[in-house]
Chains A and B, each alone.
Chain A
């Protein structure tokens, strides 16, 4: 192939476009971005780097340094600012849907997430007897609108593992196909309290099975899963 033909070939190569849902999510993140919280993160990141460089000199020096920074306390200060499960409180309530904008849905799940520190998250409701989770842009101002919902197999596996660990489902219930309706929503990275409403259609809901939301905390560039928190959903349906 001649040089000019090769240039043409390269120029005509398919250029994939970003998923529109992902774009909406990023737009929301930009809109909710707070430089102050990032500044705080940077300074903590700098402190971490300093601590790591100290560690290369020696653990003894590091320990002495930590003690020095911590005044007269004998407990070394925490070097990390990662969110822990204790930093996140979640209240979830399932109700009969009375939102006219979502009249085709039978139930509404209201989730209130309060987080003390910044952190990426995905939240998967696990409510047997319901299907097709959805949301609407027409909510009162107090509610956060996620802009998109979705799922990743790696997350679903994490959810299943968490449910098995909590003995909510059995190891024999692990088959991924059984969880094809699982979808997640998210709340902004910034610390704070967020109220979200998700709507569900009835799929043989009895109210007898326990219902849960699984909060997945992620960190890092690749947003790796760090921990999960399973919270029981309160029911106001029956």
Chain B
């Protein structure tokens, strides 16, 4: 019960952060389900967690691994929705990028632009750019060297600017 209490506390603190990461990483359709899976997986493995004070990075790592698994699973299961095709899906009660981003054109363009990036660029843009993690925190989540985070983030931003075309100039 003690472990569950800790996980619930972490859930209250970080569920929105993990949700936001997953929305941009795998899309809105599966984000909520994966958030639950992140915390269940954390509960199952909490006894092996030793980096006190770094639970947020640990949860991001779990979320990222689950996101990678999810993308692989989608590739295998061709009948499942592809990453970008959940945009504009039918079903008025289901969440879509348009509903959660409050129909803000720039935010939707950014969401679509991020989803067109390759996975490593997407990871670093979400964690360092959107979630504003430090270089060292991003490195810890992605299990990269800090130099790789800086370089990849720089390249990812250039790629994202290209994807956004003129949209960012409207800001």
A residues with CB within 8 A of B: 1, 3, 5-7, 9-11, 13-19, 22-23, 26-27, 29-31, 33, 35, 38, 151-154, 221-223
Contacts and interface: CB of A to CB of B under 8 A. Distances in A.
A23 B39 CA distance: 12
Contacts of B130: 10-11, 13, 15
Contacts of B40: 29-30, 33, 38
B interface, size bucket: 35 or more
A16 B23 contact: yes
A11 B4 contact: no
B20 A27 contact: no
Contacts of A16: 19-20, 23, 100-101
Contact of B171 (A9, A30, A152): A9
Contact of A30 (B4, B32, B34): B4
Contacts of B171: 1, 5, 9
Contacts of B44: 35, 38
A18 B22 CA distance: 11
Interface string B36-50: 110110011000000
Contact of B168 (A6, A18, A22): A6
A27 B8 contact: yes
Q: Which 5 A-B pairs have the closest CB atoms?
A: A10-B129, A16-B100, A153-B91, A26-B36, A18-B19
Contacts of B143: none
B162 to A, nearest CB: 12
A162 to B, nearest CB: 18
Interface of B: 4, 7-8, 11, 15-16, 19-20, 23, 29-30, 32-37, 39-40, 43-44, 70, 73, 80-81, 90-94, 100-102, 104, 107, 110, 125, 129-130, 132, 157, 161, 168-169, 171
Contact of A222 (B7, B11, B29, B102): B29
Nearest to A32: B4
A124 to B, nearest CB: 13
Given A13-B107, A154-B94, A221-B70, A33 B43 contact: yes
27 contacts: A6-B161, A6-B168, A10-B125, A11-B132, A13-B107, A14-B101, A15-B130, A16-B101, A17-B16, A18-B19, A18-B35, A26-B15, A26-B35, A26-B36, A27-B8, A29-B36, A30-B4, A30-B11, A30-B39, A31-B8, A35-B44, A153-B91, A153-B94, A154-B94, A221-B34, A222-B30, A223-B33
A152 B91 contact: yes
A152 B74 CA distance: 22
Contacts of A222: 29-30, 33, 80-81
